[in-house]
Structure 1
Amino acid sequence: MVTCYHCGENCIDDIIHYDEKSFCCSGCKTVFDILNSNDLSYYYDLERSPGTSPKSLEGKYDYLENADIVEKLLEFNDLDTQVISFVIPSIHCSSCIWILENLNKLNNAIKSSQVDFPKRSIRVSYNSDSISLKELVILLNRIGYEPSISLENYNKKASVIDRSLIYKLGVAGFAFGNIMFLSFPEYFEVEEFWLDQFKVLFRWLMFGFSIPVVFYSGSDYFVSAYKGLRARILNIDVPIALGIAVLFLRSSAEIILNLGTGFFDSLSGLVFFLLLGRYFQQKTYAFLSFDRDYKSYFPIAVTRLINSIEEQVQVYKIKKGDRILIRNEELLPMDAVLIKGKASIDYSFVTGEAEPVVKKSGDKLFAGGRQQGGIIEIEALKAVQQSYLTQLWSNEIFSKNKPSSFQSLTNQISKRFTIAVLSIAILSGIFWLIYDPSKALNVFTAVLIIACPCAIALAAPFTLGNLLRIYGREKFYLKEASVIEQMAKIDTIVFDKTGTITTNKRNSISYEGIELTRSEEEILGGSLRASNHPLSRSLYQLLKKNNIVTPDEFLEHTGKGIETTYKDTSFKIGSADFVKIKSISNNSVELKKPEKTSVHISSNNIYKGCFTFSNAYREGLSKLFEDLKTKKDLIILSGDNDGERENLELMLPRDTKMFFNQQPGHKLEFIKKLQQNGKTVMMVGDGLNDAGALAQSDVGIVVSEDINVFSPACDGILDASVFKNLEDYIDLSQNGIKIIKWAFLLSLLYNLIGLSFAVTGHLRPVVAAILMPLSSISIVVFTSVATHLFSRKISRDLKY
Structure 2
Amino acid sequence: MNSTQCYHCGDSCDDNLIQFDEKSFCCNGCKTVYEIFSDNDLTCYYDFQDSPGAIPTEIQGKYDFLESSEIADKLLDFNDGNTQIVTLYIPHIHCSSCIWVLENLHKLNPKITASQVDFPKKKVRITFGSDKTSLKEIVLLLSAIGYEPYISLEDYEGGKKAVDRSLIYKLGIAGFAFGNVMFLSFPEYFEVDGFWLEKYKNVFRWLMFAFSLPVVFYAGKDYFISAFKGLSSKILNIDVPIALGIFVLFIRSTFEIIFDLGTGFFDSLTGLVFFLLLGKFFQQKTYNFLSFERDYKSYFPIAVTRIKENKEENIQVYNIEKGDRLLIRNQELIPVDGILISENAAIDYSFVTGEAEPVQKKSGDKLFAGGKQLSGVIEMEVLVSVSQSYLTQLWSNDVFQKNKESHFKTITDNISKNFTIIVLAIAFISTAFWLYFDASKALNVFTAVLIIACPCAIALAAPFTLGNMLRIFGKQKFYLKNATVVEQLAAINSIIFDKTGTLTTSKESKISYHGIALNQQEKSILKSSLRASNHPLSRTLYHTFQDAEILTISDYQEIVGKGIQVSYNGVNLKLGSSSFVNNQQEQSVLDTAVHISFNNQYKGKFIFKNSYRKGVKSLFDVLQNNYDLSVVSGDNEGEIKFLQENLPKGTDLLFNQKPEDKLNVVASLQQNNKKVMMIGDGLNDAGALAQSDVGIALSENINVFSPACDGILDASKFNKIETFIKASKKAITIIKYCFILSLCYNVVGLYFAVTGQLMPVIAAILMPLSSISIVVFTTISTNVLGNKIK
Please tell me the TM-score bracket, short chain as reference.
0.7 to 0.9
1:502 aligns with 2:504: yes
1:693 aligns with 2:688: yes
**Preserved CA contact (<8 Å) 1:347 1:369:** yes
Residues 450 and 725 of structure 1: is their aligned pair in 2 closer, same or farther, counting only changes over 3 Å?
same
Shift of 1:198: 2.5
1:478 aligns with 2:473: no
CA deviation vs aligned residue, 1:541-566 (integer Å, no higher than 9, x gap): 22234333343421100011111122
CA deviation vs aligned residue, 1:314-361 (integer Å, no higher than 9, x gap): 211212222322110101101223334642222232333333333344
User: Following the alignment from structure 2 to structure 1, what is the Cα–Cα distance between the partners of residues 328 and 18?
Assistant: 61
Residue aligned with 1:507, SS: strand
Pick aligned residue for 1:380 from 376, 379, 382? 382
Aligned to 1:358: 360
Residues 413 and 354 of structure 1: is their aligned pair in 2 closer, same or farther, counting only changes over 3 Å?
closer
**Preserved CA contact (<8 Å) 1:160 1:282:** no
Shift of 1:96: 7.4
Aligned to 1:792: 787
CA deviation vs aligned residue, 1:622-651 (integer Å, no higher than 9, x gap): 111111111111110111111111111222
Equivalent AA in structure 1 for residue 567 of structure 2: T
User: Following the alignment from structure 1 to structure 2, what is the Cα–Cα distance between the partners of residues 132 and 410?
Assistant: 32
Aligned to 1:742: 737
1:615 aligns with 2:610: yes
Count, aligned residues: 776
**Preserved CA contact (<8 Å) 2:295 2:474:** no
**Preserved CA contact (<8 Å) 1:52 1:145:** no
Shift of 1:35: 5.1
Residues 358 and 442 of structure 1: is their aligned pair in 2 closer, same or farther, counting only changes over 3 Å?
closer
**Preserved CA contact (<8 Å) 1:671 1:697:** yes
Moved more, 359-368 or 640-649: 359-368
**Preserved CA contact (<8 Å) 1:702 1:718:** yes
Query: Which aligned pairs between 1:160-239 and structure 2 lie closer than 5 A?
Result: 165-187=167-189, 191=193, 194-225=196-227, 234-239=236-241
Equivalent AA in structure 1 for residue 560 of structure 2: T
Query: Which aligned pairs between 1:593-742 and structure 2 lie closer than 5 A?
Result: 593-742=588-737
Equivalent AA in structure 2 for residue 775 of structure 1: S
**Preserved CA contact (<8 Å) 1:101 1:114:** no
User: Following the alignment from structure 1 to structure 2, what is the Cα–Cα distance between the partners of residues 410 and 283?
Assistant: 21
Residue aligned with 1:682, SS: strand
User: Following the alignment from structure 2 to structure 1, what is the Cα–Cα distance between the partners of residues 274 and 259?
Assistant: 27
**Preserved CA contact (<8 Å) 2:105 2:115:** no
Residues 264 and 324 of structure 1: is their aligned pair in 2 closer, same or farther, counting only changes over 3 Å?
same
Pick aligned residue for 1:52 from 15, 34, 55? 55
**Preserved CA contact (<8 Å) 2:174 2:219:** yes
1:513 aligns with 2:508: no
**Preserved CA contact (<8 Å) 2:534 2:704:** no
User: Following the alignment from structure 2 to structure 1, what is the Cα–Cα distance between the partners of residues 92 and 422?
Assistant: 34
**Preserved CA contact (<8 Å) 2:292 2:471:** no
CA deviation vs aligned residue, 1:404-440 (integer Å, no higher than 9, x gap): 3123335665556545545655665567667766555
Aligned to 2:155: 153
Percent sequence identity over aligned pairs = 57
User: Following the alignment from structure 2 to structure 1, what is the Cα–Cα distance between the partners of residues 141 and 411?
Assistant: 39
User: Following the alignment from structure 2 to structure 1, what is the Cα–Cα distance between the partners of residues 712 and 21?
Assistant: 58
Shift of 1:229: 6.2
Structure 2: unaligned runs, 5 residues or longer: 47-51
**Preserved CA contact (<8 Å) 2:208 2:266:** yes
User: Following the alignment from structure 2 to structure 1, what is the Cα–Cα distance between the partners of residues 61 and 772?
Assistant: 50
User: Following the alignment from structure 2 to structure 1, what is the Cα–Cα distance between the partners of residues 142 and 294?
Assistant: 31
User: Following the alignment from structure 2 to structure 1, what is the Cα–Cα distance between the partners of residues 145 and 254?
Assistant: 41
User: Following the alignment from structure 1 to structure 2, what is the Cα–Cα distance between the partners of residues 143 and 443?
Assistant: 33
CA deviation vs aligned residue, 1:10-43 (integer Å, no higher than 9, x gap): 99x9xx99879887xxxx5455897599999759
Residue aligned with 2:524, SS: helix
Aligned to 1:123: 126
**Preserved CA contact (<8 Å) 2:18 2:28:** no
Aligned to 2:564: 562
User: Following the alignment from structure 1 to structure 2, what is the Cα–Cα distance between the partners of residues 676 and 536?
Assistant: 35
Equivalent AA in structure 2 for residue 174 of structure 1: F
Query: Which aligned pairs between 1:60-459 and structure 2 lie closer than 5 A?
Result: 61=64, 64-65=67-68, 68-78=70-80, 82-86=84-88, 103=109, 112=113, 114=115, 116=117, 119=122, 121=124, 123-127=126-130, 149-157=151-159, 165-187=167-189, 191=193, 194-225=196-227, 234-285=236-287, 291-292=293-294, 295=297, 298-340=300-342, 342-410=344-412, 414=416, 417-418=419-420, 421-422=423-424, 425=427, 439=441, 441-459=443-461
Residues 133 and 429 of structure 1: is their aligned pair in 2 closer, same or farther, counting only changes over 3 Å?
closer
1:591 aligns with 2:591: no
Residue aligned with 2:697, SS: strand
Equivalent AA in structure 2 for residue 593 of structure 1: S
User: Following the alignment from structure 1 to structure 2, what is the Cα–Cα distance between the partners of residues 253 and 495?
Assistant: 71
Aligned to 1:751: 746
Shift of 1:268: 1.2
Moved more, 613-622 or 196-205: 196-205
**Preserved CA contact (<8 Å) 2:468 2:779:** yes
Equivalent AA in structure 2 for residue 644 of structure 1: E
Residues 133 and 450 of structure 1: is their aligned pair in 2 closer, same or farther, counting only changes over 3 Å?
closer
CA deviation vs aligned residue, 1:117-156 (integer Å, no higher than 9, x gap): 854645344447x888778878999999986543212235
User: Following the alignment from structure 1 to structure 2, what is the Cα–Cα distance between the partners of residues 723 and 756?
Assistant: 51
1:764 aligns with 2:767: no
Residue aligned with 2:501, SS: coil
User: Following the alignment from structure 1 to structure 2, what is the Cα–Cα distance between the partners of residues 551 and 577?
Assistant: 24
Moved more, 267-276 or 496-505: 267-276
1:774 aligns with 2:769: yes
Aligned to 1:578: 580
User: Following the alignment from structure 1 to structure 2, what is the Cα–Cα distance between the partners of residues 63 and 115?
Assistant: 21
Shift of 1:447: 3.6
Moved more, 48-57 or 298-307: 48-57
Residue aligned with 1:787, SS: helix
TM-score, normalising length: structure 2: 0.87
Residue aligned with 1:304, SS: strand
Residues 295 and 252 of structure 1: is their aligned pair in 2 closer, same or farther, counting only changes over 3 Å?
same
**Preserved CA contact (<8 Å) 1:75 1:85:** yes
Moved more, 687-696 or 750-759: 750-759
CA deviation vs aligned residue, 1:353-385 (integer Å, no higher than 9, x gap): 333333344443221121112222223222111
Equivalent AA in structure 2 for residue 787 of structure 1: T
State the Cα RMSD in Å.
Answer: 3.9
Equivalent AA in structure 2 for residue 779 of structure 1: I
Shift of 1:221: 3.3
Residues 60 and 507 of structure 1: is their aligned pair in 2 closer, same or farther, counting only changes over 3 Å?
closer
Aligned to 1:585: none
User: Following the alignment from structure 1 to structure 2, what is the Cα–Cα distance between the partners of residues 142 and 773?
Assistant: 32
Residue aligned with 2:499, SS: coil
Aligned to 2:49: none
**Preserved CA contact (<8 Å) 2:406 2:484:** yes
**Preserved CA contact (<8 Å) 2:451 2:767:** yes
Residues 349 and 59 of structure 1: is their aligned pair in 2 closer, same or farther, counting only changes over 3 Å?
same
Shift of 1:301: 1.0
CA deviation vs aligned residue, 1:158-207 (integer Å, no higher than 9, x gap): 65986654554344233223222323444566656633542221122112
Structure 1: unaligned runs, 5 residues or longer: 106-110, 583-589
